[in-house]
Amino acid sequence: MRVGVCGAGGRMGATVCGAVCADPELELVAAVDPAATGQAVAGADIEMAPTLDAFGEARAEVVVDFTVVDAARENLAFYADHGMHAVVGTTGFSDADLASFADAFAQSNCVIAPNFAISAVLMMRFAELAAPFFDSAEVIELHHENKIDAPSGTAMRTVERMAAASSTWTPDPTERLVLDGARGATGPGGIHVHSVRLKGLVAHQEVILGAEGQSLVIRQDSYDRSSFMPGVVLAVKRIAEHPGLTIGLEPFLGL
């Protein structure tokens, strides 16, 4: 399968390039990153190109996109217009964006996942299953210092699924804030979300659920970007089997 990578000069993009090159069923045919134009791609006999046209010239069947949301909006329109499948790890899209992508991908397919770590996908599923059995919950997501959006897409997806699974969350009892923002942000269902940004972290999340006399903590840790690669490679290989727009890796795992 002929694969392109957009955002190939970034840390995630470079890791994706390595994973594609290491898989005998995949061929890295193009890598795009305007900020790294002309740089060699480790493990492949190609250089980074400045524009998306490189994917068409290389006849890429699937493009993996780890960029930023403003660029990704235009990128996805290009992939759809050129009949390329898209595997997208960029987060921060609006509901209007997703509706637009659903309309655009009529001749090819697209998966947008907030997290490609299989452990993170399972964490979200476990939190969803646990939600109806608890009265209150909070989510703490922790990421590296260069992540520009907060809360993370994973945290938002987790809270949305928990709120859909249960509508009986106990209201926040806080009456006085000594420090503004001390209770974090309020997400769907009134579930509070807290974002941490620190050097030394990659991607981590903790879901804390409470009921009378008991609590449950569900935690997922990605210590290295390699943790995302099995999910990315799985999505690349199976994207042709999932028509149109898919949100999340769950359908690829049978969840």
What 91-96 contacts at long range (C-beta under 8 Å, 24+ apart), as own/partner pairs, is: 91/149, 91/152, 91/153, 91/154, 92/68, 92/149, 92/153, 93/69
84 beta partners: none
Retrieve residue 238's tokens. Answer: 């199976």
d(CA 198, CA 125): 26
The single residue of 82, 85, 144, 147 carrying the catalytic annotation is: 147
194 classed as catalytic: no
In the numeric block, which tokens belong to residue 24? Answer: 């005998």
Q: Is 237 designated active site?
A: no
- Pick the catalytic residue from 143, 192, 194, 204: 143
3-class secondary-structure state, position 95: helix
Q: Name the burial class of residue 123, with classes exposed (0-12), middle (13-18) and buried (19+) by CB atoms within 10 angstroms of its CB.
A: buried
Catalytic positions: 143, 147
